[in-house]
Amino acid sequence: MIEIERRFLVTEAPPDLPAPTVIEQAYLSTGPPSVRVRRADGRFVLTIKTGTGLVRHEIERDLDADEFAALWEVGTELRIAKRRFHVEVGDGLVAEYDEFDGHLAGHRLVEVEFPDVETSRAFVAPPWFGIEVTDDPRYTNRTIARDGWPT
């Protein structure tokens, strides 16, 4: 599956946020390709991503609790915890606004997935999105898990 996504730094949270989804993820490999396991809302998922920037390939598979637990133990050094808020941003698009927890507390990113490249290019980000970092690999979750927040 192809993922078309733009990412932005956030300096101030948008108003009236809905209840978040708590996400915990561990990287088995930061790649290429990157391989992670994620726990969110009682669901366990294995994800493999290749590529960088706007267009990447992504494969996701559900795991059962035992599979997740076994793989979770492999990624002990490369973990991220965050709260994700889904925020409508117009034209049927939904932003995934993340507030990081743990050692990354206080940092924020927002990303929007698009159905095609043309829609991504036409998208005008709301002011609260801040600086775009789509093409900066330092702001991928895999790099943040490995290297920490960029300075």
Contact 4, 114 (CB under 8 A): yes
Q: pLDDT tens-digit profile of 58-72?
A: 999 999 999 999 999
* CA nearest to 63, candidates 75, 52, 47, 49: 47
Reply yes or no on whether 97 is catalytic.
Answer: no
What pTM was computed for the model?
A: 0.92
Distance CA 149, CA 102 (A): 12
Nearest by Cα to 139 from 150, 127, 128, 151: 150
CA distance 48 to 7: 19
69-105 confidence digits (pLDDT tens): 999 999 888 999 999 999 999 999 999 999 999 999 9
Name the active-site residue from 6, 10, 27, 99: 27
Predicted local confidence at residue 77, as pLDDT: 85
- CA–CA gap between residue 20 and residue 96 (Å, rounded): 10
